[in-house]
Homo-oligomer: A and B are copies of this chain.
Amino acid sequence: MDLNEIRKLIELMDANKLVEFEYEEEGRKIRLRRWEDRHAVAPSAGAASAPAAPVPVLSPPVAGGATADVPPPTRSADLVDFKSPLVGTFYRAPKPDAEPFVNVGDEVSAEKVLCIIEAMKVMNEIKAEMNGVVREILVKNGQAVEYGEPLFLIEKR
């Protein structure tokens, strides 16, 4: 028995208002219990836990459409956010007047192009990389998107 260790434990208990301490390991067991004071103070009402740092997530010049990073609670486990791999401008079609690459309800396969992200004048074709059905399109054509921003809601197959 290490008396010094026990003394340290008692100090720790005292400094932190612990009244009970029990520890067991490999057949070694220690249990300490302190006198419980009754003339005490009520716990203060202040909310516990850490300050939540809200993150500003905005593509400034474009009036940001709902970024929808809170998925609806009823959403099934097969629904996944398809996130932007790049910062840039989101385009649904290869050319201004062309048909969109995909519409809601379309089935997509891994190689299917979902959209274009323009980054530094380069048009990057973004592929689905999974099989599924497009359930929602979360950003507007021409909208600026940041890395990791959800673009589509896809139901995986």
Contacts and interface: CB of A to CB of B under 8 A. Distances in A.
- Number of copies of this protein chain within its complex: 2
A155 to B, nearest CB: 14
A33 B18 contact: yes
A63 interface: no
B43 A49 contact: yes
A72 B70 CA distance: 53
A37 to B, nearest CB: 4
Interface stretch (A1-9, A97-105, A126-134): A1-9
A9 B12 contact: no
A52 B13 CA distance: 11
Given A30-B24, A49-B44, A35 B8 contact: no
Interface of A: 1, 3, 5-10, 12-49, 52, 54, 69-75, 77
